[in-house]
Structure 1
Amino acid sequence: MLNGKLIAYAFRQFKIHERNYLTHDLEFAAVVFALKI
C-alpha cells in the first residue's frame, strides 16, 4: 500500500500438486509469483 491506497492486486490458485506443499514452500512460491508479476 502506498499512502493507504492499493497499488497492485494479484490472484492465483494453487495447482493440484502445489496443494501438498509444506507451508514454507507455499510462502516461497507466493514470493516467486509476486516477483514475476
Structure 2
Amino acid sequence: IHYNGNLKPWLEIGIPKFRGYWSKFVDYDQAYLLFFD
C-alpha cells in the first residue's frame, strides 16, 4: 500500500479515517518506533 500526502496515517496531518488502519498493523513496542511521535 502506498499513501500520498494527507493520506499518510502515521502523520498528525493524516486523515483520521486512515489512522486506525495504520495502528492496527504497527507494533508500537518496537524500540525503533519509540523515537517517533
Same fold per TM (> 0.5)? no
* Bigger relative CO (Cα 8 Å, ≥ 6 apart): 2
TM tier relative to shorter chain: 0.3 to 0.5
TM-score between the two structures when normalised by the length of structure 2: 0.36
